[in-house]
Amino acid sequence: MITKKDCLEQVREVIDGVLSTVDEKGNSQSRIIDIMHIDEDTIYFLTARGKNVYKEIINHPQISYVNLKDNKSVRINGIAKKLDDQKKWIDLMFEENPYMNNVYPGESRYILEPFKVVSGEIEYFDLTQKPILRKNFIINDGSISKKGYVITEECIQCGLCAKNCPQKIITEGTPYNISQDNCLHCGLCYENCPVKAIKKIS
């Protein structure tokens, strides 16, 4: 069974991923960024004070990060916070990522600022198995955002949702039930329910 530790270890192993922020005009901005450190609960990264991404995080700390390995993705949505004790964290991250000494040699490393995701959610999504697997984990005092679809008491047990489900994860009942850990969130059941008994969670 996948754990939060497994997700964070994938993030650290892959290192490169896509970090998305919001700029001053409200436009989304994405770039490749390296995750420099993990602990048992969250991720850490660096960026230079002169870069747009630094300003974007300072002004709007809600970020999104995703990476992919062998069709298994880890996505992190949360609040990024600049860390105190800048030199301590930078030296630690450079020790764990020695290639950074070629990018920022010597004292130039201190143009960087360390950040951590202090609150948020981790989502794991595995397309390599059938049915697919989806798991969510909390970072600190974050919360899990509810998504997907549920079948309500208006269900007439016609079975169309189960028949149409590409992952075959809807089971009989009163009402029928969708296995949330295995749902693609594709909406095929929702679109085909004759009595509109399936509701989208958002």
pLDDT in tens, 23-51: 999 999 999 999 999 999 999 999 999 99
In sign, the C-alpha dihedral spanning 201, 70, 41, 88 is negative
What pLDDT sits at residue 158?
97
Nearest CA-CA partner of 79 in 46, 107, 121: 121
What pLDDT sits at residue 52?
97
- Over residues 151-180, mean pLDDT: 97
- Over residues 138-160, mean pLDDT: 95
Residue 202 has pLDDT above 90, yes or no: no
What pLDDT sits at residue 137?
97
Q: How do residues 46-85 score in pLDDT, each as one tens digit?
A: 999 999 999 999 999 999 999 999 999 999 999 999 999 9
- Over residues 163-180, mean pLDDT: 97
- For a pLDDT cut of 90, what percent of the chain falls above it? 98
The first and second tokens of residue 152, run together, are: 């309500």
* Contacting residues for 103 by C-beta, under 8 A, at least 6 apart: none
Helix (H) or strand (E) holding 8: helix 4-14
Does the reported pTM lie above 0.85? yes
DSSP conformation class of 60: -
Q: How many residues does the chain have?
A: 202
- Measured in whole angstroms, the distance separating CA 146 from the mean position of its chain's CA atoms is 14
Residue 179 has pLDDT above 90, yes or no: yes
The first and second tokens of residue 172, run together, are: 């009989």
Residue 37, amino acid: H
What pLDDT sits at residue 171?
97
What pLDDT sits at residue 91?
98
- Over residues 113-126, mean pLDDT: 98
The first and second tokens of residue 14, run together, are: 């892959």
In sign, the C-alpha dihedral spanning 59, 64, 67, 68 is negative
